[in-house]
């Protein structure tokens, strides 16, 4: 890709960017959120057209009108959020949109090719299973097989390990080596610098739409790469002050919660969390963490069990009841649950408080008048305090970058004075600078006597921030320990369901 320029209203996403990747190598693409990595790859995959610049594939200049053109030129992309249809089988997803299979689909030929690809690259998938039946790691393998089925010679992987156990990540890295040994080129987008050092041959660093570094892996160090990404030194080990746990903030006993598939997603879960503590919930996405959080926050009704928040039985309470009792949620689904995209930044910053003084006042019975001037002043204060990059408080929340939407949610939820904070995948997909900032805020909340329930698939995050850790697998708590008391391998085995601690061992955490 030579001299690529791509502008959007008010921003230059790619500013004269040139990168190259050769057969038989892994190129790591690094950069903060908003640095232009995804835009550049969307151009290469035919989702965007560049304003200027050129793309050359195998010595030939090309112009892509759509991903179909990119696929025909041997380019495949595995997106961070999988592009699969849950109710279709693996084979149906893989051949979807391929005209050569015609109206009467030749499933036998398709399955034979899938099995050949699986054997060659160690990507075991069951062609007959439906997508909703698969783990996150299996879904990723389906996405990779889908790209290889279309004869991809250049494979783009966007944050590929964000849903994997340590063992699955290791298996993926071995598969990538098989790809390059077979003469393929891999472009690997990640914010995990340790992974870059483990898998990359060459590294390109973007900052604010420009290339700021090109180096071979053996020339690079983790602090150097972080400095290139954010333009300053980054603290990799945050200070965790000793805190004496206070009163019980959350107590869950014997909780059962039904999932969307009509079967229990949370099975007999019990846990406790005190003020001045961070309790980490580790596990691969899809093992009941989401449903557990929704039940605690009031978005999903349990089948049975109890939920106590600061001693109050809240199992049948509403979300509003919980907010009034002092609970905040930083949700994983930032757009769907965390904000109202069409509302302004300022309006999103007061969502749970807008009907209270000083933001609104009664004028007639239950009718209230909203004071937009006070909302804007409050928003300006939070925008400055939490460093939310936005043209103004009136900017639509949908127009903010992913990292700034997360800062908006953090600003709102941490500024309400809540004593119990649920942080669900708080740094997922964020760059090293934003990750450092968010982890620092959560540790500050703990130091200030808040209780933090941290749900994260990022194992290093759980282990570095938490005072206590539980592991969920298939809706159950299968392990409970204090950080540094179990090896990384043992934690990975718990996450994969290959190991289980007794209830008595887990219960020791709460005594």
Q: What is the pLDDT of residues 394-452, one digit of tens each?
A: 999 988 877 788 889 999 999 988 999 999 988 876 767 777 888 889 999 999 999 99
Residues 14/36, Cβ–Cβ less than 8 Å: yes
**Angle, alpha carbons 150-152-154 (nearest 5°):** 160
Distance linking the first and last C-alpha atoms of the chain: 59
Does residue 472 have a cis peptide bond before it, meaning omega lies within 30 degrees of 0? Answer: no
- E strand or H helix at 476, and its extent? strand 476-481
Quote the DSSP letter at residue 478. E
The answer to which of 175-189, 300-314, 417-431 has the lowest mean pLDDT is 417-431
pLDDT interval class at 165 (50, 70, 90): low
Confidence check: pLDDT of 255 > 90 = yes
Give the residue-averaged pLDDT of 178-203. 89
In angstroms, the CA 347 to CA 349 distance is 5
pLDDT reported for residue 124: 84
pLDDT of residue 235: 54
Round to whole Å and give the CA distance between 455 and 470: 10
Name the nearest CA neighbour of 297 among 328, 339, 252, 260. Answer: 328
What phi-psi label fits residue 115: left (phi over 0), alpha (psi between -120 and 50 degrees) or beta? alpha
Stretch among 204-213, 238-247, 266-275, 344-353 having the lowest mean pLDDT: 238-247
Q: Could you tell me the pLDDT band of residue 262, with boundaries at 50, 70 and 90? A: confident
pLDDT value for 348: 95
* Alpha carbon distance 237, 433 (integer Å): 13
Under DSSP, is residue 463 helix (H, G, I), strand (E, B) or coil? helix
- Which residue segments constitute the domains of the chain, with CATH numbers given? 2-230 (3.40.50.300), 238-326+458-511 (3.40.50.300)
Do 77 and 154 touch, CB atoms closer than 8 A? no
Q: What are 198's two structure tokens?
A: 């483990």
Confidence of residue 455 (pLDDT cuts 50, 70, 90): very high
Whether 14 has a pLDDT exceeding 60, the answer reads yes
Segments in 6-165 forming alpha helices (H):
37-44, 67-72, 90-95, 107-121, 136-149
**Does residue 299 surpass a pLDDT of 70?**
yes
Question: Is beta strand 52-57 parallel, antiparallel or unpaired with respect to 2-8?
Answer: antiparallel
pLDDT tens figures, 144-153? 999 999 989 9
- Tell me what the mean pLDDT of segment 368-393 comes to: 91
What average pLDDT does the structure give for the chain?
Answer: 88
Q: Average pLDDT in the 220-249 region?
A: 79
**Residue 422 CA: distances (Å) to CA of 120, 228, 343, 451:** 43, 32, 23, 9
pLDDT at 102: 60
**pTM across the whole model:** 0.69
pLDDT tens digits, 87-124: 999 999 998 887 776 667 778 888 999 999 988 888 88
Best CA proximity match to 209, nearest among 9, 11, 77: 11
* 8 A C-beta contact, residue 404 and residue 388: yes
């Amino acid at each position: 890709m030579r001299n690529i320029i791509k502008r959007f209203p008010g921003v230059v996403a790619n500013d004269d960017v040139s990168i190259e990747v050769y057969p038989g190598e892994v190129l790591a693409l690094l950069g903060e959120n908003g640095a232009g990595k995804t835009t550049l790859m969307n151009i290469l995959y035919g989702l965007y057209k560049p304003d200027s610049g050129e793309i050359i594939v195998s010595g030939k200049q090309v112009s892509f009108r759509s991903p179909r053109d990119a696929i025909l030129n041997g380019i495949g992309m595995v997106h961070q959020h999988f592009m699969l249809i849950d109710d279709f089988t693996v084979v149906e997803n893989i051949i979807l949109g391929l005209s050569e299979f015609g109206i009467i689909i030749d499933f036998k030929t398709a399955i034979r090719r899938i099995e050949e690809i699986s054997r060659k690259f160690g990507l075991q998938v069951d062609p007959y299973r439906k997508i909703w039946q698969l783990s996150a790691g299996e879904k990723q393998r389906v996405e990779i097989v889908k790209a290889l089925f279309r004869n991809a010679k250049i494979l783009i992987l966007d944050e590929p390990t964000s849903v994997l156990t340590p063992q699955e990540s290791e298996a993926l890295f071995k598969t990538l080596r098989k790809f390059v040994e077979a003469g393929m080129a891999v472009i690997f987008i990640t914010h995990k610098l340790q992974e870059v050092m483990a898998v990359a041959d060459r590294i390109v660093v973007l900052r604010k739409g420009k290339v700021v570094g090109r180096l071979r892996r053996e020339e690079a160090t983790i602090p150097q790469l972080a400095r290139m990404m954010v333009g300053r030194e980054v603290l990799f080990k945050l200070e965790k002050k000793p805190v004496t746990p206070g009163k019980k903030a959350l107590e869950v006993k014997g909780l059962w919660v039904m999932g969307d598939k009509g079967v229990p997603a949370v099975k007999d879960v019990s846990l406790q969390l005190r003020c001045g503590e961070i309790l980490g919930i580790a596990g691969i996405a899809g093992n009941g963490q989401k449903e557990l959080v929704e039940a605690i926050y009031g978005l999903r009704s349990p089948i049975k069990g109890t939920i106590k928040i600061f001693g109050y039985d809240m199992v049948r309470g509403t979300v509003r009841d919980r907010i009034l009792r002092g609970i905040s949620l930083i949700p994983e689904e930032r757009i769907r649950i965390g904000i109202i995209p069409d509302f302004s930044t300022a309006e999103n910053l007061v969502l749970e408080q807008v009907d209270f003084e000083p933001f609104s006042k009664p004028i007639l019975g239950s009718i209230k008048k909203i004071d937009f001037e006070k909302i804007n002043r409050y928003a300006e204060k939070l925008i400055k305090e939490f460093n939310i990059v936005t043209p103004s408080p009136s900017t639509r929340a949908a127009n903010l970058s992913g990292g700034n939407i997360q800062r908006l949610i953090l600003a709102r939820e941490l500024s309400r004075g809540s004593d119990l904070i649920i942080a669900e995948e708080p740094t997922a997909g964020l760059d090293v600078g934003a990750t450092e900032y968010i982890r620092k805020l959560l540790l500050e909340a703990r130091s200030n006597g808040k209780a933090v329930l941290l749900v994260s698939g990022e194992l290093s995050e759980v282990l570095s921030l938490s005072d206590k850790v539980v592991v969920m697998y298939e809706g159950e708590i299968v392990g409970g320990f204090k950080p540094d008391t179990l090896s990384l391998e043992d934690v990975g085995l718990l996450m994969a369901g290959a190991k289980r601690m007794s209830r008595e061992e887990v219960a020791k955490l709460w005594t």
